[in-house]
Structure 1
Amino acid sequence: MSRVFQVQAGSPASRSRRPGPSPPSQRSPWSERSDDSANRGRIVAGYLSPHPPHLIYAENPPQNEPRSHGGWDVMRWGYEELRRRMSARARPDVLIVHAPHWITMVGHHVNCVPNPRGISVEPIFPNLFRYHYDFRTDVELAEAILGEADGLGLVTSAMREPDVRVDYATIGALHLVNPAWDIPVVSISANNNPYFYSDASLDEMEVLGEATRRAVERTGRRAVLLASNSLSHLHWDVEPDLPEDMSREHPYNQHQYEWDMRLLQAVREGPTSRLRTLIGEHIEQTESETKAGSLTWLLSAMGWPDLAGDVLAYGTVIGTGNAVVEWMPRG
C-alpha cells in the first residue's frame, strides 16, 4: 500500500521528501554523462500497452507461478510486434510507465527505489498472476520528474520504501514490452480522484505529461513511454472453469465494442489532438480505464503530436477492450 502525503504542491514539506541526488551507489549509470547528452534527451516512442494479467499467464514466463494452456493470441502477437520494433531501433535508455493500479489518493507518486524486488499478486486473479519481479529504477530521472512536476504545481511524493510491492499493472506492461527486464524503469502512480469525483478532468495529467517530457530532455534520456491501461472496461464477473477458454471471450456488449472502434479509428487517422475530446467521451460511454489518465499523460508528454497511431492489436480480455498502439515521432 503506497503511503499518502497530504502536502501542498511546491511546499517545503513536499520538497523535503526529495532530498537531492541519490548516494553514488544508487545513482543511474547515466549520472556522469557530459552536458552534450542533454541535447539528445527525447521521447523516442509511446505505446498504449494494456496490462491484463491473462496475457502474462498465457505466456508462462518463469517469473509467474501459475501455468496455462495459452490464449489471447492476437493480443500477444501485437506485443511480439512491439518488441520486434523496439529491438530493431536504437535501444532506449529507460521505460517510463504510468499505471492505473498504483492508486494514490493525494498527488502523484514516483517510484525511487533503486532495485524493487518481490512478488506482485493480482488481487482479483491470484490464480493467474503471482509474479516475481526484480528490476532497476532510473532514480535520477524519477527525481527529475518529481522536481519538474512540483515546479508546475502538482502535489508529488517520492516512493522510497524498499519493501514496496509493485502493482500488477506496472509489472504487466513492463513484462509484455520487455520480458528481459534489461532496461531501467521509472514508474508513476495514478492519482485516482477521477474514479471518485465526477467533475474531475484530465487536465492535471497533461501537466504531468509536460513534467515528464521536461525531465526526459533535461537528463538526456532516450525514453519510451508506456500507458498501461485498457479501453472499454466493463467485464464479466464469473470466470470460466478454464480461464483460457477462448470460446468464452468476446466484447462485453456491442456498445462497448463500437466505442472502442470509434476511438481506435481516430487513433489510426490522427492527429492525436482529436483524442483530447474523444477520450473523455469514450470514458463516459464505456467506463474506460483511460479515466486513470495514463493515455492522456502519454500523449501530452509527446506534445499531442500530429501523428496517426499504429494499432498493432485489439482484443478482449474478460470482455474488456484492449489495444496495443504505437506512436512514433518523426525524425
Structure 2
Amino acid sequence: MARVFQLPVTTGRTAIAAPAVVGSTDRPRPGIAAGYLAPHPPHLIYAENPPQNEPRSTGGWEVLRWAYAELRRRLTRLRPDVLVVHAPHWITMVGHHVNCVPNPRGVSVEPIFPHLFRYHYNMTTDVELAETIADCAAEAGLVTSKLREPGVRVDYATIGALHLANPSWDIPVVSLSANNNPYFYAEAALDEMEVLGAATRRAIETTGRRAVLLASNSLSHLHWDVEADLPEDMSREHPFSHHQYQWDIRLLDLVRTGPTRAVADFVPQHIAQTASETKAGSLTWLLAALDWPAIPGDVLGYGTIIGTGNAVVEWVPEEFSDV
C-alpha cells in the first residue's frame, strides 16, 4: 500500500483479553496449524461440477484438482476451527478490509469467465476472529476497516480457494481484502503484508483459534486472450512461455528446499519476470503469519490454467508436524 495511506507501524499493541477456552481436554492445540498456497482460477471449480456452480463441464486440469484433493485430505486431519483466506480479487483501494458479515450469501459471477463461474455461496464468518484481526492490524499501524454490509458480494478468488479447500463449507471462515495499491504505486512494497501477517497471527493466538490459512495466489500470470471453443480442452493448455515456466520452477525449487525467508526474498524478482499474482501480497502475508518457519514447503501439484502458473503448496509449522 502506498505510504500516503499508511499510518506509522508500531511494534507494541494494547492487550486484548482472550476468551476462556471451553471444551474437552483433547481440544486440538490452538495456533496456525498450516498454511497453503491455494490458487483460485475459476476453471478448477468449473471442472469439478459442484452443485453450487451453474455451468457444467467435462473435466480438465486434473493435476491441480488432485493436488486440492490431497489438501482436503490433510485439512481433515488438521481439524481447524477456522479458515482464513487472503485473496487478490477483493480489491480495496484504501486500507485492508476484513469481512465481518456473519453469513454472506448470494451469487458470485466471475467477470471474465461468466460462462464458467456462476456460484451460489453461503458461508459462515468467524466474526470474533475477523474483528480481532482488524483490531490487531490497526494497532500495528495499518489502515483497516471492518466490513459489515450485509449484502456484500464475495469475490470469486475468495470463494474459489475456500470451495476447493473445503467444498462442504462446514468450517467458519475469515476473508481479507487485497489493498492493491502496489499495482498503481511503483514505490510500494510487500513489507506491509508482513505486518498484516503478523497481526493475523496475533489475533489467532489472542482468540485461541486453531486456524488454517489460504493464500489465494497464482504464480506467473501472463495468459491467453483467446479461449478454446471447449474451455476444458487440455490439448490447448500449456505454459504461456518457457520463460514464465522457468521462473515458476525457480520459485518452487526454493519452496521445496526452504527456508521461507528465501522464498520471500525471491518473490519480488519473480513478480518482475512473470507479472506474478503474488504482487497482491497473499503469499507474503501467509509466510509472515507463519512467522517465517525455516522449513520447506510441500508442493502438492503444479499446473497451468490459460497459460498462468498455479501451485498448491503446504507449510506445516514444526509444532504441528505430529498431527
Structure 1 and Structure 2 fold alike (TM over 0.5): yes
Give the deviation of 1:197 after TM superposition.
1.2
- Unmatched segments (≥5 aa) in structure 2: 9-15
Provide the aligned C-alpha RMSD in A. Answer: 2.2
What does 1:113-124 correspond to in 2, within 5 Å?
113-124=101-112
Structure 2 residue corresponding to 1:64, chosen from 36, 53, 57: 53
Aligned 8 A contact 2:19 2:208 in 1: no
Match of 2:92 in 1: 104
Instruction: Classify the secondary structure of the residue corresponding to 1:243.
Output: coil
- CA offsets per residue over residues 50-73 of structure 1, 9 Å max, x none? 000000000000000000000000
When residues 284 and 36 of structure 1 are mapped into structure 2, their CA distance, relative to the original with a 3 A threshold, is farther
Match of 1:181 in 2: 169
Match of 1:210 in 2: 198
Match of 1:14 in 2: none
- Unmatched segments (≥5 aa) in structure 1: 1-5, 11-19, 21-29
Structure 2 residue corresponding to 1:166, chosen from 131, 154, 163: 154
**Which one-letter code corresponds to 1:328 in the other structure?**
V
Residues of 1 paired with 2:257 and 2:277: CA distance? 22
TM-score, normalising length from structure 2?
Answer: 0.92
Give the deviation of 1:276 after TM superposition.
2.1
Aligned 8 A contact 2:220 2:248 in 1: yes
Give the deviation of 1:39 after TM superposition.
11
Instruction: Classify the secondary structure of the residue corresponding to 1:224.
Output: strand
Residues of 2 paired with 1:53 and 1:282: CA distance? 23
Give the deviation of 1:9 after TM superposition.
4.7
Match of 1:55 in 2: 44
Give the deviation of 1:7 after TM superposition.
8.2
Structure 2 residue corresponding to 1:273, chosen from 256, 261, 281: 261
Structure 2 residue corresponding to 1:264, chosen from 248, 252, 265: 252
Tell me, yes or no, if structure 1 residue 138 matches structure 2 residue 105: no
Give the deviation of 1:86 after TM superposition.
1.3
Match of 2:11 in 1: none
Aligned 8 A contact 2:108 2:154 in 1: yes
**Which one-letter code corresponds to 2:206 in the other structure?**
R
Aligned 8 A contact 1:9 1:156 in 2: no
Give the deviation of 1:36 after TM superposition.
11
- CA offsets per residue over residues 183-229 of structure 1, 9 Å max, x none? 00000000001111112100000000000000000000000000001
Residues of 1 paired with 2:260 and 2:78: CA distance? 25
Match of 1:74 in 2: 63
Residues of 1 paired with 2:98 and 2:212: CA distance? 16
**Which one-letter code corresponds to 2:292 in the other structure?**
W
- CA offsets per residue over residues 223-255 of structure 1, 9 Å max, x none? 000000100000000011000000000000000
TM-score, normalising length from structure 1?
Answer: 0.89
Match of 1:26 in 2: none
Instruction: Classify the secondary structure of the residue corresponding to 1:324.
Output: strand
Structure 2 residue corresponding to 1:320, chosen from 297, 308, 314: 308
- CA offsets per residue over residues 82-130 of structure 1, 9 Å max, x none? 111111x241000000000000000000000000000011000000000
- Identity over aligned pairs, percent: 73
Residues of 2 paired with 1:8 and 1:255: CA distance? 35
When residues 142 and 179 of structure 1 are mapped into structure 2, their CA distance, relative to the original with a 3 A threshold, is same
**Which one-letter code corresponds to 2:42 in the other structure?**
P
| Equivalent residues, number | 308
Give the deviation of 1:35 after TM superposition.
11
Aligned 8 A contact 1:39 1:217 in 2: no
**Which one-letter code corresponds to 2:165 in the other structure?**
V
Residues of 1 paired with 2:311 and 2:64: CA distance? 8
When residues 157 and 184 of structure 1 are mapped into structure 2, their CA distance, relative to the original with a 3 A threshold, is same
Instruction: Classify the secondary structure of the residue corresponding to 1:214.
Output: helix
When residues 97 and 181 of structure 1 are mapped into structure 2, their CA distance, relative to the original with a 3 A threshold, is same
When residues 269 and 90 of structure 1 are mapped into structure 2, their CA distance, relative to the original with a 3 A threshold, is closer
Instruction: Classify the secondary structure of the residue corresponding to 1:239.
Output: coil
Residues of 2 paired with 1:65 and 1:36: CA distance? 41
Instruction: Classify the secondary structure of the residue corresponding to 1:148.
Output: helix
- CA offsets per residue over residues 265-291 of structure 1, 9 Å max, x none? 000000111012100110000000000
Aligned 8 A contact 2:28 2:79 in 1: no
Residues of 2 paired with 1:241 and 1:303: CA distance? 45
